[in-house]
Chain A
Amino acid sequence: EAGVAQSPRYKIIEKRQSVAFWCNPISGHATLYWYQQILGQGPKLLIQFQNNGVVDDSQLPKDRFSAERLKGVDSTLKIQPAKLEDSAVYLCASSCVTGTRNQPQHFGDGTRLSIL
Chain B
Amino acid sequence: DQQVKQNSPSLSVQEGRISILNCDYTNSMFDYFLWYKKYPAEGPTFLISISSIKDKNEDGRFTVFLNKSAKHLSLHIVPSQPGDSAVYFCAASGDNYGQNFVFGPGTRLSVLP
Contact = CB atoms under 8 A, between A and B. Distances in A.
Interface of A: 4, 33, 40-45, 48, 55-56, 91, 93, 100-102, 104-110
B98 A55 contact: yes
Interface of B: 4, 9, 32, 34, 36, 41-46, 49, 89, 91, 93, 95, 98-106
A33 B44 CA distance: 13
A42 B99 contact: no
A105 B98 contact: no
B101 A105 contact: yes
B43 A91 contact: yes
Contacts of A102: 93, 99-101
Contacts, number: 53
B89 A41 contact: no
Contacts of B91: 42
A104 B102 CA distance: 12
A41 B43 CA distance: 14
A108 B43 contact: yes
A55 to B, nearest CB: 6
Contacts of B44: 43, 91, 107
Nearest to A10: B41
A92 B46 CA distance: 14
Contacts of A56: 98, 100
A101 B32 CA distance: 10
